[in-house]
Structures are given as structure tokens and as C-alpha cells.
Structure 1
Amino acid sequence: MDYHFSFQHPNTHYFTIKATFTAKTANEEILLPNWRPGRYQIQNFAKRIRSIKALDQNGDHIGLEKLTKSSWRLANEPGSVTITYQYYAFEMDAGNSWLDDEQLYVNFINCCIYTRESLDEPCTISFDLPDDYEIASGLKKIKDHKLYADDYYRLVDSPMFASSSLRRISYSVKDYSFTLWIQGDLPKTDEEIIKDFSRFTALQIDVMGEFPCPKYHFLFQCLPYKHYHGVEHWNSTVITIGPSSALVDRDRYKDFLGVSSHELFHTWNVIRLRPKEMTPYDFQSENYHETGFVTEGVTTYYGDLFLARSGVFSLEEYLQELNKLLKRHYENEGRTNLSVAESSFDLWLDGYERGIPGRKVSIYNEGALAALILDLMIRVKFNNDKSLDDVMRLMWSTHGIDQSGYSFLDYKSAAESVYEETLDRYFDDIISGIHPIEEYLSDLLPKFGLSFDLLASEKVEEKTFGFRLSEQTIADIASGSPAYEKLSIGDKLVSINGNPFNQELLNSDPMTLEIDRYGRSMEVDLIPSESHYFSIYQVSREKNLSSKLLNMIQGWLEN
């Protein structure tokens, strides 16, 4: 399949694709993906296509019948066929495409049609671009504005940027080369970036034993507005982050480092070490799997852990990130209703939206905490001589290098092989169940010199009455709290005890609230409870550690 991209008016955000291929049979079917790897959600990219038509080798029109939302039937004879269409590229994140007067950014999976026969065939991709535009991509460059992919799978796993203002930063680790391509402003020097990136890159390679590809590309969109997103690819990643001006600050720069470390580890975990259900990808339908706690959870855990172990993050900074995971866990009552394995299967239902209250958990967050628990269990049993590192290396050698795919039971088997005994309880409680994680962490974390304490909310309405506010509006309600049967999410507080709403009027005394419930004015009496709501566990380092505890925490968080 040969693809040619062109555009005339970039600020309309439409580019034109001309896809040419040799049809081996009459009445060929052409398709466009409905989803993209890295986001397990039907996205219906065909909704951004217009003016599609087909021509034969003589330039005569071929009939084109729409079969489904993302497939068409050609009324062709065997021979050369050209499909032309326009694609609307005006969604800036790490998984979509963008065209304006400054750049062309394409995730090919959004917009490149295919036939079932062409999935395993080579592709060329050429572009009509301004002469001063440079292309950044993990694909092989044939000419300045022409790329090559071994097959369709590699094409759609290799996004590209093209502009006249790309910044390039390069570094090497062992025999592997890494390039950062930056569109926009990154207020850091090359030396600062190379120092941090080379440290966490070297550690990841040391832990996994090898890097899967000789060259790797970080493609950054540093945006002037708030944004945070990353998507993994075969030998590259796209990361969108902003506001770029905030990257001078340590907190936002930590986000930049965290997502970069996370996406780099995906080069092993999910790009090549992939669930069987996604081997190979079916781009037309949901690829249901229960192992999102591995694909995203383990990766989320390691993303920050590698930064701590390589010295890029301090111990305090790492514990801050761990406490964010714990805070999200305890603020989501979905932890009491749906396991991380079930939530993984349901990614295709509502995995990338908040969803209804208390229904599900995040595979990223809960999977990371599950990985933490397993890692600490292994480290405690073997005094840091073994760890989750050994599980991931075993998974890589048995299911990743050959890209054969793994099952839930394959991961369990690998973990038990390293642990040297059954892990039925861990998998039943933490992965397939909704067992309280504090029953594990309250035992494990002190063995690494860390306290694990339950902290009450500092806000009286959360702690005593069980409701959370967003300005004047009820945003969340704790089960079983005084607010549980009296208030509704979306209620707007108008007054407190007859006084116009003011946050300072909230206290632990009985109170009468006047609320606006979607246009209805009501009064609600709340009696304070002796129980506490919206409490969360947090981690902190103990002082004056014994040599044994010091060795344990250093063995875990220092390389």
C-alpha cells in the first residue's frame, strides 16, 4: 500500500490521502481502524473522513459501497486501485492527528485505510510538505519527505511530526540511540534533559537486560496550555504536555519525566510483551482482556520507580507520587465494587471516563498498587535478592522476545515461579477481588522503614458529614454518611443555617442546608457523625532506621 499525504489550506485542518494498492481480487473490501493500541476504546476514526472515492488504473471511477461504519466494498476488477479522501486533523493529544500552519502531526492509525490482505505487506508514505519541514518518526526515511514501513502494523505504530521548528536532543546508552524531537518550547537545556533521560534509560535497560530496538524516538508536543498525555509505540512515543512554560518548575518537570519513563518502559511491556487477546491486534473490534493491571498497572508502577532507583527522583519525590496513587485509591469507592481485572475487561465500556459513582477502578492506579504489593512481597521473602524485576524479565524472555502473547495464568505462573510458592491469595484478593489493600500494605511497608497511616480529611464537610464540594456544588458523597440519604451529586449549596453560603460557615455542628437541586429549592438537615469519611492512607519515612530497615528501603528504592 502506498500512501500520499498533501494539503493546500492547513488552517482548515483537512489533509488529503491518496492510497494506492494492487487489488488481487474483484470487489475488494477496504477498512479503517475503529480504535488504536494504547487506548482500549472504540473511537470511530471514520467520522473524520469526507469525500472518499475510488479510481482504477485508468483513472475511471469505481463504485464504492459502505458496508459498516468503517468499511467499504469496491466494485473493482483485479488491478491497481487508488482511494482518495480527506481527513480532519484537529484534535491535539498523543493519540490523534493535527494540521495547522505550523506543523503536520499524524497518527497513521487514525486515517490510513487497509485491506485484510495488505496488513502484512510493506507500505510507503510520501508527503507534499514545505521544503523547510523536517520529519520526525520511528519509520525508515527513504527520502526527506518519504517513509517506509515493513507492514501495516508497523505503520500504525509509528506516528510522525513534520515542521520547520523541531528541536532535536540526542543521547546514547550502550549501543542504543535515543532522540527527543520537540515541537514547541521546552525550557530546559540539552544537558539537563540528557542527564535525566540517560539515567532512567540506562536503568531500564539494565533491569530488562536489553533494549528491543536500536533507535528510539520521543516525540513531544510542548503546548502553551494545560495538557498531559502519552502513547507508546513500536520504537517511539508521542507525549503531549503543557503548559510548556510550567516545565521550568520541578513539579511539572516531574510529570514530564514520569510520563517519559512510563512510555519508555512500554517498549517492552505491551508493545512486544502483549496479552494474547491483542496478538495480533484486531482493529475493527474490541480486544477484551483482563490483564490491564500488567499492561498499564505494572508500567505505571515502574515509571516512577525507575526514576527513584536511578536517582532522578529523590526518596521524598517518589513517596509523593506513591501517595498520589493511594489518595486516588481511597477516594474512589469503586474499589469496593469492581476488581482491577474486571475493570480491565470493562476498559472498552467506560475505562477512559469517570463513569457512574463507585462502579470501577483505574487499571493504571490500582494496577500500580497491585504491582507495588507483589514487588514488596517478593522483596520481603527474599531480602531484596528477588523482586518484580525478575517476574518481568521472565515474562519478557518467555512471551515478549518472540511476541507470542501471554494470558492471565501466564503472568500468575511467572510470579509464582519467582515467589517459589502459590500466590493464589494475592491474585484472589488484589487482582480478581476487592480485598482492602491496607491489609497487605500495613504489614509490608513498615518492613521498608515506612509508616502507613490513616489520615482524616482536613475538610469538615468531608470528614464529619461525608460530602465533597466543588465550589458550591456537591461533587461526591461517601456511602453510609449523614449526607448519603439526604444529598445528591449536583446539589448546589445556597445557604447554611439561613446564611448565604460561605465555606467558612461549615463546621461540625448540626446544620440546615438550603440547596438548589436542579431548579428545586429544598432544605436538608444534617446531623454530624462520629465516624470519619474520605479518610486516606498515606506513606512517610520513619526516622532513625535500623541498619536492616535501611538496607531494605535502599535495596528497593536505590539501584
Structure 2
Amino acid sequence: MRYKIYAENPQNHFLTVELAVENITSDRIKIQLPAWRPGRYELQNFAKNIQKFEIFDEQQNPVEFHKVNKDRWKVYTKNISKLTIRLRYYAYIQHPNGVFANAGSSYVDENTMYVNFVNCLPYVSGRMHEPCTVELGVTDEYKIACGMPIEGKTLLAQDYYQLVDSPVLASPYLQCQTYKAAGIQFYVWFLGNYQPNWEKILSDFTRFSEKQIDIMGDFPEKDYHFINWILPVAFYHGVEHRNSTMIVLGPDTEGDGLYTDLLGVSSHELYHAWNICKIRPVEMMPYDFTKENYFPTGFVAEGVTTYLGDVFLKQSGVFSLDAYLNEFTTTIRRHFEQDGRSPMSLVEASMDLWLDGYVASIPNRRVSIYNKGAVVALLLDGLIREATQHQKSIHDVMRLMWEKFGDSGLGYSLFDYKQLAEQVFGGSLDTYFAECITGNIPLQEQVQARLAWYGIEASFDENLRLTVGQVDNDNENLRNWLG
């Protein structure tokens, strides 16, 4: 399938998308636009941003079609072997703080073409495994940041799944530097009013990248792109992709705070290259872009990643102990202060992402698979470390997950995760899973006891507010945990 994307009047924020379909052998085909995107488990109904939808044959005559549902079209192709689909997509999402794009949307103006292809590129049902090309309609002065191979202004994908897992950011004003970690080529891109301290960035990124690869054993891809858009307003959003991440941060005047955010979200998103991009729930093998893909293990995909993203920054020496504890205790506080009295389990919360996981909920209903998922990952890590005298940890669980499911291309179940965790732990984890994963009991005592084991004084008041006191820097468990 061959695509073209261009903007006739970029100041109007419309992208024109053309799809050339060849080798048509049936009297009817179906054209489908995704209804959601990986990394955000809610229906987003991208078809609502289509202003105009047309189909033509080789002679540019209109082809008969009709809409089947909100984002699917049936095309009548008797005696037609080739056709062109053309649509106009509104690439401009306004936010209350003046942000017109996020890390999962698309945007175009006079100086920028930013496209998450899953938003606006339709596919032919039954032909998602065919190679795809995307020709970008930009001038020669544009630089192009994308995880896919590039020939001139054309992006090359082995199939539709790779295509929609590889966003592109193109602008004359992109900055880029590279580094290598464990033999893998990494690219760091920036767009915006931001002057990177390249020496520090490349040093810190190399350290946490090497640490993650060392722990996991190898890297899933041949290269990797950190694509960063720095805005003048407050913003924090990152989305994982196969061999790239799209990160939108701001404000550009924040200095050290912005850099801390950059480190945190970059380490988190890089770990997703293993955990969810490859180590994927069986319910998502493969992704079905037409409807909800319910899965009970969101706390593994997001909670473990939230926990380990910051752990890697400390274990690699990028974060000081104080910096790490500041970040992780913020995560703990968010769970207990926002969700500490909610009756929902993490399994239920994973399923209900598709219901209301990203909007305000009714009081005391929902828990965050990110925040509580990170809290219970801390508890599992501590249980394993205590049982094995630090000879093993949650790293061993995730490395086994990678070897058994990610590297093999097999999907995992909740039972699989529990079984591998018990294998590393060396016994039954029924109580842990009943209390932390499939049930929902208050976890203040467990968290307080685990932090105390690490030499960290902590207490909760009646409103579940966490207070962290003295830290015993000489605590042996603390040193073994964070290095």
C-alpha cells in the first residue's frame, strides 16, 4: 500500500492523505480507519476528524462506496484493479492550556508536519501485512524524525503494524544528536525553543540505556529514536512505539524541572520497547484497531514500567538517591491520596481503561494502573529481594518475560506473569496476588514496612498522606536495591 501525505494550506491544519491500492481481485473491499491507538487504551474514534472522503479509479472517475459504520467503508470494485482513496484530516487538537497536539495526535502548520499515522491512515481489510510506503509532502529544508527507514522523503514499513507504530515529526528546525549503547544506535531529536545541553543529555541517556539493555540481556530493535517536542506551556506526555517514542514536554522555561521530566519519561518509554511493544498481553496478539482490546494486565505494562523507569535512572547513576526518592514517593502519594480508598482491583482497572481510564471518575471508584501498579511492583521487588537475599529481583521476572514471551512473539496471560514471578520468588505468591492484584486491600502497612526494610522512615496519616522521614544511607538492603 502506497500513501502520500501533504498539506495544501498548512495554516488551515488539514492534512490530505492519499492511499493507492493495487492488485484488487474482488468485487468489494473494505477500508478501515483505526478507532484507537496503542499506548492509550480508549476508543478515540479518529474518523471524527475526517472532513472529506473520496475514492477514484485509475482514470480519476469516482468509485461507488458507502459507509458501513463510523470508520469503515465498503467499496465496490467490480472490474477495478487499482484505486485511490483521498481524505482530508484535521490535524489540530486544541487543549485548554493552548497546546494543539499531544504525543498521540497529529498536527500541521507552516513549519511542522507531525503525524501519528494511526490517526489518519486507513487500511484495506485483510491486507495489513503488506509492505507500506509513505511519501511526505514537505520541502527539502525539512528534517525528518521517524523510526522507520527513510529514502529521501519516503518512509518504508514492512507492514501496516510497523507503519502505525512509527510516528513522524518533520520540520526545518529539528535538532538531533546520536549515541551508542551496547552497540545500538540511538537518536535524540528536539523541536521547540530549547537549547539542549548535549553533553549531559548524551551522557545520561547512554547510562540508563546501557543499564536497561544490560539487565534485559539484549535490545529488541536495531536502533531507537527519542523524538521530543518542547512547548512553551506546561505539558507532560509520552507514548511508546516499536523503536521510538514521541514525547511532548513543557514549559521550555522550566530548566532543571524540565530536564528531570525528560529523564523520567525517556527512561519509562525506552523500557516499553520491551514491555508492551514486545512483551505483550495475549489479548493484543495482534492489535485489533477496530474495537476495544480488553486485557487484565495493564498493571504489568504500565505499573512495572513506571516503577522500573525511575529505578533504572538510580541504578545507572543518573539519579541521586534523593532525586529517585523524590520521584517515587510522589508516585506513592498519588496512589494513596487519589485512589487509596477505591475498591477497584488492578485487574478491574486494567479492563476499565476502555471505560473511563483517562477521564475523571466518580469518587472512590477507580485506581491507576500506573501509580498503584508501580506501588505493587515495589512490593513484589521487595518480596523477591528479601526471599533471595537480593540474589534475584523483579528484573529477573521481566527478563524471563522477555525471553519467554517478548523475544518469541508469544502473548502472555495474567497466569503466565504470576507463574514466572513465583518461579523467581521461589514459592507461592497467592497472598500477594490476592491482596495487590486481583483484590484491593489497603496497602499502607505493606508499603511502610517495605520502606522501613530499606531504611526509609515513612508514615501515613488518617487522610492517607505519606510523610517520609530519615533515610539510612548505610542500609544494606537500600544499597542492594538501588546501587
Using the size of structure 2 for normalisation, the TM-score is 0.96
**Secondary structure of 2:239 counterpart:** strand
Say if 2:131 is the partner of 1:122: yes
Residue 542 (structure 1) shift? 3.2
Residue 329 (structure 1) shift? 1.7
Name the residue aligned to 1:405.
Answer: 411
Residue 41 (structure 1) shift? 0.4
Q: 1:93 aligns with which of 102, 108, 112?
A: 102
C-alpha distance after superposition, 1:335-369 (max 9, x if no partner)? 43101111110000000112111110110001000
Q: 1:84 aligns with which of 72, 83, 86?
A: 86
Per chain length, whose mean CA-contact separation is higher, i.e. which structure has more relative contact order (CA < 8 Å, sep 6+)? 2
Indicate conservation of the 8 Å contact 1:329/1:335, yes or no: no
How far apart, in 1, do the equivalents of 2:469 and 2:320 lie?
A: 13
Residue 452 (structure 1) shift? 2.0
Name the residue aligned to 2:72.
Answer: 71
Q: 1:453 aligns with which of 455, 459, 475?
A: 459
Residue 85 (structure 1) shift? 0.8
C-alpha distance after superposition, 1:177-211 (max 9, x if no partner)? 10011111333321011011111111000100111
Name the residue aligned to 1:360.
Answer: 366
How far apart, in 1, do the equivalents of 2:18 and 2:69 lie?
A: 21
Give the count of matched residue pairs: 474
Name the residue aligned to 2:96.
Answer: none
C-alpha distance after superposition, 1:37-78 (max 9, x if no partner)? 000000000001122111112221101201000000112124
Name the residue aligned to 1:204.
Answer: 212
How far apart, in 1, do the equivalents of 2:356 and 2:210 lie?
A: 36
> What letter is aligned with 1:284?
T
Which structure 2 residues correspond to residues 302-317 of structure 1 after superposition, within 5 A? 302-317=308-323
Name the residue aligned to 1:537.
Answer: 466
Indicate conservation of the 8 Å contact 1:300/1:364, yes or no: yes
How far apart, in 1, do the equivalents of 2:439 and 2:245 lie?
A: 33
Indicate conservation of the 8 Å contact 2:339/2:368, yes or no: no
**In structure 2, do the counterparts of structure 1 residues 544 and 397 end up closer, same or farther at CA, with 3 Å as the change threshold?**
closer
Indicate conservation of the 8 Å contact 1:297/1:363, yes or no: yes
Name the residue aligned to 1:270.
Answer: 276
**Secondary structure of 1:385 counterpart:** coil
Q: 1:417 aligns with which of 420, 423, 431?
A: 423
Indicate conservation of the 8 Å contact 1:334/1:359, yes or no: no
Indicate conservation of the 8 Å contact 2:175/2:189, yes or no: yes
Which structure 2 residues correspond to residues 422-433 of structure 1 after superposition, within 5 A? 422-433=428-439
Consecutive unaligned residues in structure 2, runs of 5 or more: 94-100
How far apart, in 1, do the equivalents of 2:174 and 2:331 lie?
A: 34
Say if 2:144 is the partner of 1:131: no
Residue 333 (structure 1) shift? 4.2
Q: 1:192 aligns with which of 181, 194, 200?
A: 200
Larger Rg: 1
Consecutive unaligned residues in structure 1, runs of 5 or more: 457-531
Which structure 2 residues correspond to residues 245-260 of structure 1 after superposition, within 5 A? 245-246=253-254, 248-249=255-256, 251-260=257-266
Using the size of structure 1 for normalisation, the TM-score is 0.83
Q: CA RMSD in A?
A: 1.3
**Secondary structure of 1:194 counterpart:** helix
Runs of 4 or more, structure 1, over 3 Å off, are 333-336, 538-545
Name the residue aligned to 1:556.
Answer: 481
C-alpha distance after superposition, 1:197-241 (max 9, x if no partner)? 111111000100111111100111111111110000010000000
How far apart, in 2, do the equivalents of 1:291 and 1:158 lie?
A: 24
How far apart, in 2, do the equivalents of 1:265 and 1:544 lie?
A: 27
How far apart, in 2, do the equivalents of 1:544 and 1:283 lie?
A: 49
How far apart, in 2, do the equivalents of 1:148 and 1:168 lie?
A: 21
Residue 544 (structure 1) shift? 7.3
**In structure 2, do the counterparts of structure 1 residues 66 and 449 end up closer, same or farther at CA, with 3 Å as the change threshold?**
same
How far apart, in 2, do the equivalents of 1:172 and 1:245 lie?
A: 29
Indicate conservation of the 8 Å contact 2:36/2:44, yes or no: yes
Identity %: 44
**In structure 2, do the counterparts of structure 1 residues 54 and 334 end up closer, same or farther at CA, with 3 Å as the change threshold?**
farther
Q: 1:286 aligns with which of 271, 292, 296?
A: 292
